[in-house]
Structure 1
Amino acid sequence: MSFNESEERLGELTRKTFLSMWSYQNPHYAKGKELCDALVVFGDDMIIISDKLIRFDEKASSDVAWKRWYKKAITGSIRQLRGALSQITKFPQNIFCDVHASSPFPLKIPSPEKMRVHLIAVANGAENICLESLGHPGLRIDTQCNVDSTFMTVGTKYPEFIHIFSKTSLEAIFDCFDTTRDLIDYLRRKQEALSEPERFLICGEENLVAAYVCSQPGNGDFHIPSETFHTVQGVKLIPAGLWNMYMESEIRAERNRIRAPSYTIDNLINHIATEFNSGSLIVGQDKPFSHHEKYFRIMASESRLSRQTISATLQDIISEDPSTFWCSISESKDKPGLLYLWLVYPIIPKSVTDEQLEEFLCTHLRDHITVALYKFPYAKYIFGICLPNTASDRNSHGFQVSSGEFRSSELKEEADKLEREQGILAHIQTYNIMSQRL
């Protein structure tokens, strides 16, 4: 299947943020019948994206050209989004990953009563005209507009809430929100804020994004800072220029520097997906895709900030003495009671096969999780990840998830024995990690 420039960009951005397990480009509902341009299913959240690249007719009068472009780029996308949502809701079993409708969609579609739907229309082709006429490349958003009556202006309620992005807006969003959790949070908080009776006038979505990402106090939650927007004649105004200021700011440079190590989490999730899709998993290849997706969605649900704190404990041990095992534990910022146990294994003799290594790692990781369940009695879940020291030439990874519901007197005896006889987690502090956050 061939993609135009806009579709290729959309595919790259969605795979980066949602990762390959949850993002599917150009799914179909029947042979030769495209459902939408991109579909993301992440638990009960579903993002449907329609991407249109429509040339703006600069030879026609601005009013005529705008109405023509609007009909194809905006109205056309809204029609596709409505049709896709209807099709998914009525016939969730008829979704396929290929044009021949021979490869069934691998993820479970949430039931209509649980489904949280986010509709996105990407409208390309009018940025130059928008920049020339309005002074910013992103379409103007007026929350009281839902027709083509105002030049270069779109709304949000048609009557369903629809996010309409231009190229600049789309790239700004995926630049700032490169985890599923962060992007969905932004879409949800934006919808909540812009659904208020108060009227908003936004000079390009990219400027709303800038205001949002600069709203985070320390390590707290982001929010739409409506209280900071100037009100002009009863209208909340988000001016142009905020995005450019953010892009050139020290805030962005520092933000990118700090979060760089957190991409270890993204790489781990993509690693297991790649291994599974290629049939290369030594342990777990016999399990269905849904088995792996369910557990890796736990890790993929972490925000970028939470991934920073989780990966920081890994960075502390990944390059330590490669002659022995190293273990560290951190708690999710987003989900109190969810602990991540990192187990870094040493250089392994070449005489040990990959199959032997992975069997040993599975046992060793399980033993560490067993002890951790009692070292941290408040833990609801422990997600264990085993991976090589940076000095190792092996690439075997192990992943296990255990629930606090598995605790029992027999397992407690086993945990005590493992700690006493093998020294597993014998010297780790049993404090509540929650209290140690910055």
Structure 2
Amino acid sequence: MTIEKDSTVARAVNRSTGATPAERYLGKLCEGTFLSLWSYPGLYRDQRSEGRTEGKEIADLIVVFENDIIIFSDKHCAVPSSGDARTNWSRWFRRAVAKSAEQAWGAERWIRQFPTRLFLDKECTQPFPLPLPPMSAAQFHLVVVAHEIAQQCSRELGGSGSLMIHSDLKGIENHTRPFTIGDLDPDRSFVHVFDDTSLNIVLQTLDTIADFTGYLRKKEKLLRSHQVILATGEEELLSVYLRQMNSDGEHDFVFPSDATCIVLDQGG
């Protein structure tokens, strides 16, 4: 797949600007970054049931680059103000993160089963224009963008407002620690949870789509390794990734293999 080919295809189709605020936010964000040539907001599947005459939305935005398929799910949910931090977090997390993750897993499942049944319009008359990789070779990256939390996180913990990352936190039901994200479901595809702050940092720091997919891939591998990773925010992970190189000369997370716990603090 070449840039020339993709840019020609992208200009030839009626690319949606997004039907919902979430889709428009992601579409606008991608327009100003390296994702613009490979991203499509507001895709639909031709699954009609219970009298539906239109297709059903599958994801807020999908990016296809070579063998990588990135599925974005975006939620704007106000943070409750019950007076109890854990209660506020749990309620916000269920609506903004857990629900979005289920949408992303569902989109991955549909694409794996029916890769030719993706459309740009709800009438399902405009097929998705980019060729998908063979599903046997496809690498899915699921991204949840959860809004409204960064400001409160910064107010409570200081710093940029980026959510903390603890890889030993596993399972949606165990995400009860405020402002902390781990592995939502170790038995399914890894879900990257970005807030407003961390997504902007990543997209503004990396230069190309290959850089972005490389970062997602190696972050997934790190957070599902035998080592416990504790990071005060996404920017700490990204900083380490960009400073380190593996034996192939690629940016990577390179830690001593015998280390059982790695702590990445602000400015560390």
- Looking at structure 2, the residues matched to 108 and 53 of structure 1 have their Cα atoms a distance apart, in angstroms, of 31
TM-fit CA distance, 1:83: 0.7
Is 2:263 aligned against 1:237?
yes
- Looking at structure 2, the residues matched to 211 and 87 of structure 1 have their Cα atoms a distance apart, in angstroms, of 35
- Looking at structure 2, the residues matched to 193 and 176 of structure 1 have their Cα atoms a distance apart, in angstroms, of 20
- Looking at structure 2, the residues matched to 58 and 129 of structure 1 have their Cα atoms a distance apart, in angstroms, of 11
- 2:119–2:125 CA contact under 8 A, matched in 1: yes
- Looking at structure 1, the residues matched to 116 and 59 of structure 2 have their Cα atoms a distance apart, in angstroms, of 16
TM-fit CA distance, 1:103: 1.0
User: Once superposed, which parts of structure 1, at least 4 consecutive aligned residues long, lie more than 6 Å away?
Assistant: none
Task: Show the 5 A alignment for 1:306-385.
Answer: none
TM-fit CA distance, 1:216: 5.6
Is 2:47 aligned against 1:23?
no
Q: Tell me the SS of whatever aligns to 2:72.
A: strand
Q: Tell me the SS of whatever aligns to 1:106.
A: coil
Cα-Cα RMSD? 2.3
- 2:86–2:176 CA contact under 8 A, matched in 1: no
Residue 151 (structure 1) aligns with: 178
Q: Which one of 25, 46, 50 corresponds to residue 69 of structure 2?
A: 46
Q: Tell me the SS of whatever aligns to 2:59.
A: coil
Larger RCO: 1 or 2 (CA < 8 Å, sep 6+): 2
- Looking at structure 1, the residues matched to 175 and 221 of structure 2 have their Cα atoms a distance apart, in angstroms, of 24
**What percentage of aligned pairs have identical amino acids?**
31
- 1:143–1:157 CA contact under 8 A, matched in 2: no
Which amino acid is 1:34 matched to?
E
- Looking at structure 1, the residues matched to 242 and 26 of structure 2 have their Cα atoms a distance apart, in angstroms, of 22
Which amino acid is 2:86 matched to?
D
- Looking at structure 2, the residues matched to 135 and 150 of structure 1 have their Cα atoms a distance apart, in angstroms, of 16
Residue 207 (structure 1) aligns with: 236
Tell me: CA distance 1:92–1:210, structure 2 relative to 1, closer, same or farther (3 Å).
Answer: same
- 1:78–1:121 CA contact under 8 A, matched in 2: yes
Tell me the TM-score normalized by structure 1.
0.50
Is 2:199 aligned against 1:170?
yes
- Structure 1, unmatched stretches of 5+, are 243-438
- Looking at structure 2, the residues matched to 156 and 162 of structure 1 have their Cα atoms a distance apart, in angstroms, of 7
Q: Which has the higher helix share?
A: 1
Whichever of the two has the greater Rg, that structure is 1
Q: Tell me the SS of whatever aligns to 2:118.
A: coil
- Looking at structure 2, the residues matched to 216 and 175 of structure 1 have their Cα atoms a distance apart, in angstroms, of 20
- 1:27–1:38 CA contact under 8 A, matched in 2: yes
Tell me the TM-score normalized by structure 2.
0.80
Residue 8 (structure 1) aligns with: 24
- Structure 2, unmatched stretches of 5+, are 1-17, 47-53
Is 2:131 aligned against 1:108?
yes
Which amino acid is 1:14 matched to?
C
- Looking at structure 2, the residues matched to 163 and 121 of structure 1 have their Cα atoms a distance apart, in angstroms, of 6
Which amino acid is 1:205 matched to?
E
The alignment covers a number of residue pairs equal to 235
TM-fit CA distance, 1:157: 4.8
Residue 49 (structure 2) aligns with: none
- Looking at structure 2, the residues matched to 225 and 52 of structure 1 have their Cα atoms a distance apart, in angstroms, of 33
- 1:198–1:235 CA contact under 8 A, matched in 2: yes
